[in-house]
Amino acid sequence: MTIREAQSTVDEWIKTIGVRYFNELTNTAVLMEEVGELARIMAREYGEQSWKPGAEKEDLGDEMADVLFVLICLANQTGVNLEEAMLKNLEKKTKRDLNRHRENTKLDGPGQ
């Protein structure tokens, strides 16, 4: 699925199942909530926190998909073509960071 197809699919889902988009401010708050849920998994699986006894491990991919879904909703609501925006952003990063990371001695550490 391309990003453009994802935007179209989410729009169709909202119109047929979701009834309507939440307003942009509500969706921004929902996005922050979803990012928090993703962060909780990351802190427990890859960080120093542990799961509470009896707590079910959550699905990392599902939480990432929740974040992506709400981000796509916001893009649709605000008229952002994420495919174009991503390509433009990568071009900007490439120009800005062409040698920056290669020359960063902090990146020569363990695990590299």
pLDDT at 56: 84
DSSP state of 108: G
In a domain, residue 95? The reply is: yes
Domain with 30, as residue range(s), is 3-105
Read off the pTM.
0.87
109: confidence class by pLDDT, cuts 50, 70, 90: low
CA–CA separation, 37 and 26 (whole Å): 17
In a domain, residue 112? The reply is: no
Summarize pLDDT for 20-61 with one digit per residue, the tens: 999 999 999 999 999 999 999 999 999 999 999 988 889 999
pLDDT at 108: 83
In a domain, residue 34? The reply is: yes
In a domain, residue 20? The reply is: yes
pLDDT at 1: 96
The pLDDT mean for the chain works out to: 94
CA–CA separation, 87 and 63 (whole Å): 24
Q: Which two tokens stand for residue 92?
A: 């900007």
Q: Is the pLDDT of residue 102 over 90?
A: no
Return the CATH number at 94: 1.10.287.1080
